[in-house]
Amino acid sequence: MALNFTRRQFVRTGAAASLATWLPQGVFSNTSANKKAVIHADDEIGLVRPEFHSNFAEHLGSCTYGGIWVGKKSPVPNINGFRKATVDYLKELGVPVLRWPGGCFADDYHWREGIGPAEKRPKHVNVNWGKYVEDNSFGTHEFMAFCRLIGAEPYFAGNVGTGTPQEMRDWIEYCNFPAGSTLSDERAANGSPEPFRVKYWGVGNELWGCGGNLRPEQAAGEFRRFATFARLIGGNDVYLVGCGPNGNDLLWTRGFMDTLAGRARMNGYSMHYYEGGSLPPTQFTPEAMYTQFNLFPRVEQSIIQQRALLDSYDPGRNIGLFLDEWGVWDQLREDSKGRLWQQSTMRSAVAAALGLNLFNRQADKLYMCNIAQLINVLQAVLLTDGPEGKNCVRTTSYYAFMLFKAHRSKKAVRAEYDGARLPVAFGGGRGGGRGGQPEPPPDLSMSASRQDAEMVVTFVNPRHDVDMDVDCAVRGVSVKQGRAQILHDPDINAANSFDNPDKVVIQPHQVAAEGDRLRITLPAMSVATVTLQVG
Ligand code: AHR
């Protein structure tokens, strides 16, 4: 049956109510809203570091084993044991930095067990994730080879929880010392005469929790000890990242920084902020989705407040603020696919874009952000484990990241827009609310960046029931031409699966862009990137 109604007639006749029952679950009839925005192309915020689009791979579920690594004898097409499809897709996406081997796993990982002939490597119970037997067949050399295949810079998380300063300092020597020491010669004997030159080293992970349940003063004390010996071997070339708070825990940061007291140089400081979900990934309701989306202004507020507190100790901003782990963490059940296996939906893609937009807006305050995790686990960009021949799917989150790629290495510029939320309106940090008042539904989100004659603008419509017509003024440059791409599905639960891998993919989209204006329509549940040539 053809439905020849305009949207207004549709709503007026009351057909909307009766038709709603025919629509697939998660698809809703829409109203439309006009939104105004202004981009200040000359008002620079800061560099959109490619590192904002970094990722994280842990020995958890099927992220590393099965996702990255299938082994050399696998029937799955592979390059020396690395799943070929993941290599191809990740190369195309570009993963600036990849953090490994955890997560919680890192504080129970002993790097020496993951080098040398694979068949001789010790086996250990993975106490954090599933208590399966870790055979250490994926270790330092395998990780480095994978990073080289996909063009990612490695970021190692050192073991503070069950490790020692010596163990971490030896790992640095093994990886980075050119030649002539017993450890560097061992590396050469294991197939890598050239040093790995690993720059980023985390000093423990979540030391307030799975890394040892430490107090901030203890964690800073450990940093001082570990950093002393890491620097003796790694000199000033290693970039040491201290363990920051869970969410916006300002007391943690104060306790940590007071104890650090300038006694050990810390290059980076990492906070973790997951956006929890109250339902399984493909069964979200609009209400549950909005509750999750409304966490993003709190993430933004946390970045602002944590940065301000760090600045009070470090006015020169020499310490980089990391969002070491972030992403949606929905309700998951353990299933045969392994721990924390999570599907990404249109909702997840919108969530990713809300995060990436806010990183652009706070570009001056951030150094690196690592979404959790790379494959199969939590907000993964790829899913594997499909039947043969369908061994790797690009998730909606993959495509959200793709839509932000053009921002990399440009300067974020200021944008004002209807619906922009002052993060401060949302109270303090994780769990901070509005005094029992219901939060408003999320609204338009946007960010812009510019480099010379190219400007990139990303818009997000997080509403499931409102299409947005955006009328955007452009100040400071003149627009010559523009093109747009969109990721959109009216179904908040739509996902790419092994049977339907291209259900939600990037499409070309209409945009009117000329002179000092840009106009675009954003259908409900969409992420759109506009690339403008400007003069
Ligand atoms: O990403 C999953 C887990 O979440 C990590 O291991 C840990 O750091 C965090 O709590």
CATH class of 56-389: alpha beta
Q: Per-residue pLDDT tens for 274-333? A: 999 999 999 999 999 999 999 999 999 999 999 999 999 999 999 999 999 999 999 997
Q: ∠ CA(109), CA(71), CA(177), 5° rounding?
A: 50
89 Cα–ligand 1 center, Å: 24
104 Cα–ligand 1 center, Å: 6
409 Cα–ligand 1 center, Å: 28
Q: Per-residue pLDDT tens for 97-122? A: 999 999 999 999 999 999 999 999 99
Q: What is the pLDDT of residue 419?
A: 82
Q: Which two tokens stand for residue 279?
A: 């339902």
Beta-strand (E) ranges in 262-319? 268-276
Query: φ, ψ for residue 249 (rounded to 5)?
Result: -85, 95
Q: Quick check: CB of 243 below 6 Å from ligand 1?
A: no
Which of 160, 272, 376, 379 is the pocket-test mutation for ligand 1 (most atoms within 8 Å of CB)?
A: 272
Q: Quick check: CB of 374 below 6 Å from ligand 1?
A: no
Q: Quick check: CB of 324 below 6 Å from ligand 1?
A: no
How many angstroms separate the Cα of 239 from the Cα of each of 163, 184, 198, 242?
Answer: 19, 20, 9, 10
Q: What stretch(es) of the chain map to CATH 2.60.40.1180? A: 7-47+412-534
Q: Per-residue pLDDT tens for 482-493? A: 999 999 999 999
Q: ∠ CA(255), CA(260), CA(263), 5° rounding?
A: 165
Residue 44 catalytic? no
Angle between helix 396-404 and helix 84-93 axes, rounded to 10 deg: 30
Q: Quick check: CB of 202 below 6 Å from ligand 1?
A: no
Q: Quick check: CB of 325 below 6 Å from ligand 1?
A: yes
Q: Which two tokens stand for residue 418?
A: 């209807």
Among the listed residues 51, 58, 142, 206, the single catalytic one is 206
Q: What is the pLDDT of residue 68?
A: 97
The stretches in the chain having pLDDT less than 50 are 1-22, 336, 425-434
432 Cα–ligand 1 center, Å: 22
Could you give the CA distance from residue 302 to residue 270 in angstroms, rounded to a whole number?
12
Radius of gyration of the chain (CA): 24
> Are the C-beta atoms of 67 and 382 separated by less than 8 Å?
yes
Q: Quick check: CB of 253 below 6 Å from ligand 1?
A: no
One-letter amino acid for residue 476 of the chain: G
Q: Quick check: CB of 63 below 6 Å from ligand 1?
A: no
137 Cα–ligand 1 center, Å: 22
Q: Quick check: CB of 101 below 6 Å from ligand 1?
A: no
Could you give the CA distance from residue 295 to residue 274 in angstroms, rounded to a whole number?
9
Q: What is the pLDDT of residue 437?
A: 61
Ligand 1 atom, smallest distance to 209 CA = 10
For atom 7 of ligand 1, which residue has the closest CA?
103
Could you give the CA distance from residue 445 to residue 449 in angstroms, rounded to a whole number?
14
For atom 9 of ligand 1, which residue has the closest CA?
103
Q: What is the pLDDT of residue 25?
A: 54
Q: Quick check: CB of 300 below 6 Å from ligand 1?
A: no
315 Cα–ligand 1 center, Å: 30
**According to DSSP H, which parts of 126-179 are helical?**
140-150, 165-176
Q: What is the pLDDT of residue 30?
A: 83
Nearest alpha-carbon partner for 379 in 337, 344, 338? 344
Q: What is the pLDDT of residue 391?
A: 83
Q: What is the pLDDT of residue 426?
A: 46
Residue 206 catalytic? yes
Q: What stretch(es) of the chain map to CATH 3.20.20.80? A: 56-389
Could you give the CA distance from residue 157 to residue 97 in angstroms, rounded to a whole number?
13
Q: What is the pLDDT of residue 3?
A: 30
The CATH number assigned to the domain with range 7-47+412-534 reads 2.60.40.1180
Could you give the CA distance from residue 199 to residue 360 in angstroms, rounded to a whole number?
24
180 Cα–ligand 1 center, Å: 37
Q: What percent of the chain has pLDDT over 70?
A: 89
